[in-house]
Structure 1
C-alpha cells in the first residue's frame, strides 16, 4: 500500500519521508527573515563557524497500558536505540562542526498520542497537539534545555520537525539500524531551518495554482528576461537546484497530464518512475520541467542524493548537504528566532563527560557502577597519562587543564571509531586521557589534545611481586617473592621485610602495573 505524507497546515511545520513512504506537501506560506540570511554558498564562510554542541533528549510514547504494539519488540524506545540515533546524528553533522550530546530518555503512557496523524486524519492527534500536550503542566514532557525527539507510531508519515522549535517526531524504528541514518539527519536538518529542495515543485505552470507563488524556476540567469527566484522560492537555498519530488513525479503526471483524480493517482502512481535507484541518477524525460517549462537540471550527489530531497533512502544515506544549506543551518542557529537553540546549547567540555556510569575514586569498588560510558558517534582515542605527584587524578582532571598530565607520545590504550556497534565498550580506562578526533579541526588545534587524565591507584591490586636486590645495587642478582592480593596490599608489608634494596610491583585488574623502589635501612 502506498501512503502519502502531508505537511501540516502550519507555517513552520515540516514532514519527511520514511523508507518508501512518499510526501504530499502543502504550499509554503512562510518567508525567511530578510535581514537574517545571506544566501551565501561560500565554503570559506562555512569553515569559519566554531564547533557547537546541542543537548538531545528522547521521549518514547506508549499506550495507556504501557505497551507499544508494532514497535521493535513492542517497546517504544530503548537506550540503545536512542544512542544509535545520537550516533547517526553525530556521524551526519560532526563534519560540519555541529555536535549532539545525549542527555537521556523517558517514556510516558497516553493512548491519545501514541499514534499521530500527519494530515489531521479524523480520530487522531497531530504533532502540534502532541507538543502542546508535552509542554503543558510546566513542560511535563519537554526539556527546555534540549532538542526534544518524540518517538511514536505515525499513522501516515515517518518523521516531522518544527523548524527552530527543538521539537522532532519520528517513527519507532528511528534507531533500529544505520538504514535510518537518513531519517535522523533529514529531520534534524528541518529543525535547523532547512526545507525540501522540491518545495514549490510542480510540473507545468497552472493558472491559479497556489504552488506558482513559491515555485523555484530552473533558470539561474536573471539577464534573459526570466525571473531568478532561488533566494525567495522553493527551499530558499540558491545552490540546491530547482528539483522535482523524485518519488511523486508520476503522481503529478497523472493529475496534470491525464486529469486523473488525486485519490486515484495516489493509489496508482509508480514511485520514483524517473529515478534509477541502481545508480541514484534522475533520468531526464519530456515532462521533467519546472513551472516556466524549463527543463530541470539535476546533478549527481548534491541534487539527486541530497539528504533533504525525496530520493530513496539508500541514495541519501551519504548525508549530502550543499554549502548553501549548511550556511543556512548556521544562520538559523545564530538568528535563533525563538531562543530555543541558545537554551539547548552545551559546551565542548560536555562531550568529555560520560552519559552514564561513575568513575571509581576510592573505597570498595562496584563493577556495575564503576564504568563511565561515553556516547557513540565519535572517534575516541584513550591515551596513557601519568599524573604528576602534586596532582590528584583519582577523578579525571578538569577539562580546562589541557595537556599538562600526558606526553604527546603517550601510548594508545583504547580506541573507537564513530560506527562502534557495542556501546558498552566505549568507556574511559584508568590511567588514560580522552582524545576526541574532531573533523575539520587543524591538527595543531588544542581542541585535539587529550583531556581529563584519570590516573587512579586507590583500588586494591590483585597481586604482584617483591624483588630483593641481593647486592643492594640494581643488577641481576635478585630474589623474587610473588605476592597474592592480601600480601601485596598489606599496609605492613615493608615492616615485614629485611633491610635492603627492593622493588615492589603491584598488578591491577585493568592490566596496569605500579612499581615502587625502596631502600630499607636497619632502623
Structure 2
C-alpha cells in the first residue's frame, strides 16, 4: 500500500513538473512570436495562474552555527545607515554563435530592468547607474547549468577571459535558459553570487520580481525561508538573520488562504515551531504569483539595513570598485550638452540635445536660480528626453530641496561684419569696398574671404572704438 502511494505521489509530481514546463514553454513561444512583450510576462503569468520558476543562490558563506555571529551582526537593532550608495550596472546578453537569440532583448528592455532595480531599492538609498550592455555570442555559453559544465561561475570566468567582464559594475547576464544540470533539465529563474556582484537571469524573468530578488542575494540577503527546517534549532530561530521577517517556509499559492493574506495552513518544522504566516509579498520569499510581483513586492526595513551593513562593513571591498557618485545619476545616458546652442532667431526652441535620462526616478527640471520653479517634470515611469536650457535637475528620491547640474547652453556665435577696402596689387585711387561677415570664433575664415592685394580692414574693438589695419594678401 505504501509503495503504491509512493508511486502515485511520484506520478503527481512528474505531472506537475510537466505542466509547469509546458506553461513556461508557452511563454517562450509567445515571446518569440512577439505576441507578448517582456514587460508583460509577469501580468500574463498572474492572469493565467502560472507558477514562476524558483531561483538559486551561490553561497560564499556557509550557514552553520559558526557563522551565526556574522549573521547576527546585520540585525535591524543596529544603528541605521543613512549614506547614499550608487552602483554601476552592466548587462551581458547571451546569444548563439551567430548573434541570434529566440527572445530578443532591446536596450529599452534593459533600461526597464534598471528602472525596476531603482524602484525596488531606492527607499534604502541604494541606486543604480546604467552603464550599458554588450553581447556574448557563444551558443555553448547561452545556457547556464547549476552543476557540471557550463556553470554560472565558469561563465563569469569565460567573460573575464574574453575581456567582456566589467569589474566596475554589477554584471547581470541574460541567459536563454538556466537548468539544474545536463541530466536534470529542471529550469531555474535566476542564480546569484551571495554576496557578490554577479547574477544570471532567465530572459523571460528579466522584467519580473526575480530581478530584484537576485540582486538582493548579491547584497547578502537569504531567502525568507532559509533555515526554516534545519536540525539545528539555533539556526532555525535565526532563519534569514533578519528580525522583521517572520519565520517562513517555501510554499505554493495553494498553501495560502485568502489570496495574498500571508495566512498559511499550519506548518511545523523539526524544532516544533509553528508557522502560520509567511511574508508572501517579500522580494526574498518563494516565487509565488500574484503575491510576490512588481506591483506589491517589498523589502523590509531590516532587510534594507542588512544590505547596507553588508555594503559598509563585512564585504565593502567587494562593492567599492563598482560604486559611482551621486552626481552621476544626474547625467543623461544619452545626449551631448556641447551640441545645445541657443539661437534667439530660432523660434522653434528645438535645443534638447538628444537627451535621455534613466527612468525609475521622479524628476523635476527647475529654474537654476529659483529651484522651486518647476519647468518640466517626469514620473519614475517616464523617460525624460529633454534638459531645458537654464534649468537644474531634482531627483526627488535623492533630495527634494537641492537641484544639480544647471544646464547653461552655448550661446549662438555672434556674427560680425568688417569693412574691407581692397586696392588690388597697387595702392591708388581705384579701390573696391566689401562687407565681409564671419563668426567671431572663426577668424581664419574671415581672412580666406578677403581678396588678393592690399586690404584696409575696418572694425570695432571690444570698447566699440573703430580700428583699422592694412594687410597684403598674396596669391
Range of TM-score over shorter length: 0.5 to 0.7
CA distance in 1, matches of 2:262, 2:96: 42
Q: Which residue of 2 aligns with 1:116?
A: 144
Matches within 5 A, 1:140-159: 140-154=163-177, 155=179, 156-159=187-190
SS class of match (1:332): helix
CA distance in 1, matches of 2:352, 2:159: 32
Matched, 1:291 2:270: yes
Matched, 1:38 2:67: no
Q: Which residue of 1 aligns with 2:290?
A: 314
From the CA coordinates, give the structure whose radius of gyration is larger: 2
CA distance in 2, matches of 1:201, 1:454: 54
Matches within 5 A, 1:439-518: 448-456=401-409, 458-459=411-412
Matched, 1:434 2:393: yes
Of residues 223, 236, 245, the one that matches 2:241 is 236
Runs of 4 or more, structure 1, over 6 Å off, are: 24-28, 362-365
Q: Which residue of 1 aligns with 2:160?
A: 135
Q: Which residue of 2 aligns with 1:169?
A: 200
Residues 127/360 of structure 1: CA separation in 2 closer, same or farther (3 Å cut): same
Matched, 1:63 2:26: no
Matched, 1:354 2:389: no
Q: Please report the TM-score for the alignment, with normalisation by the length of structure 1.
A: 0.61
Runs of 5+ unmatched residues, structure 2 = 1-15, 22-44, 180-186, 344-349, 415-436, 440-475
Given that 1:199 and 1:215 are in contact with CA atoms closer than 8 Å, whether structure 2 keeps it comes out as: no
**Following TM superposition, by how much is the alpha carbon of 1:119 offset from its aligned partner in structure 2, in angstroms?**
4.6
**Following TM superposition, by how much is the alpha carbon of 1:78 offset from its aligned partner in structure 2, in angstroms?**
1.6
SS class of match (1:132): helix
Matched, 1:345 2:298: no
Q: Which residue of 1 aligns with 2:301?
A: 323
Could you say which structure has the higher helix fraction?
A: 2
The number of residues matched between the two structures is 357
CA distance in 1, matches of 2:157, 2:141: 11
CA distance in 2, matches of 1:26, 1:362: 48
Given that 2:364 and 2:377 are in contact with CA atoms closer than 8 Å, whether structure 1 keeps it comes out as: yes
Q: Which residue of 1 aligns with 2:220?
A: 193
Given that 1:86 and 1:102 are in contact with CA atoms closer than 8 Å, whether structure 2 keeps it comes out as: yes
Matched, 1:246 2:251: yes
Q: Which residue of 2 aligns with 1:377?
A: 360
SS class of match (1:150): strand
**Following TM superposition, by how much is the alpha carbon of 1:127 offset from its aligned partner in structure 2, in angstroms?**
0.9
Q: Please report the TM-score for the alignment, with normalisation by the length of structure 2.
A: 0.67
CA distance in 1, matches of 2:71, 2:282: 24
CA displacement, residues 321-360 of structure 1 (integer Å, 9 cap, x when unaligned): 2222222111111135372200001110111111112124
**Following TM superposition, by how much is the alpha carbon of 1:195 offset from its aligned partner in structure 2, in angstroms?**
0.9
Matched, 1:273 2:308: no
Given that 1:239 and 1:322 are in contact with CA atoms closer than 8 Å, whether structure 2 keeps it comes out as: yes
SS class of match (2:277): coil
Given that 1:434 and 1:450 are in contact with CA atoms closer than 8 Å, whether structure 2 keeps it comes out as: yes
Given that 1:21 and 1:157 are in contact with CA atoms closer than 8 Å, whether structure 2 keeps it comes out as: yes
SS class of match (1:273): helix
CA distance in 2, matches of 1:78, 1:239: 38
Given that 1:163 and 1:190 are in contact with CA atoms closer than 8 Å, whether structure 2 keeps it comes out as: yes
For the aligned residues, what is the CA RMSD?
A: 3.5
**Following TM superposition, by how much is the alpha carbon of 1:426 offset from its aligned partner in structure 2, in angstroms?**
3.3
Matched, 1:414 2:376: yes
CA displacement, residues 87-143 of structure 1 (integer Å, 9 cap, x when unaligned): 0000011111100000111112001111112354xxx62211111211225xx1211
Residues 85/336 of structure 1: CA separation in 2 closer, same or farther (3 Å cut): farther
Runs of 5+ unmatched residues, structure 1 = 6-16, 203-210, 218-228, 248-271, 386-405, 462-488, 492-523
Could you say which structure has the higher strand fraction?
A: 2
Q: Which residue of 1 aligns with 2:430?
A: none
Q: Which residue of 1 aligns with 2:150?
A: 125
**Following TM superposition, by how much is the alpha carbon of 1:45 offset from its aligned partner in structure 2, in angstroms?**
2.9
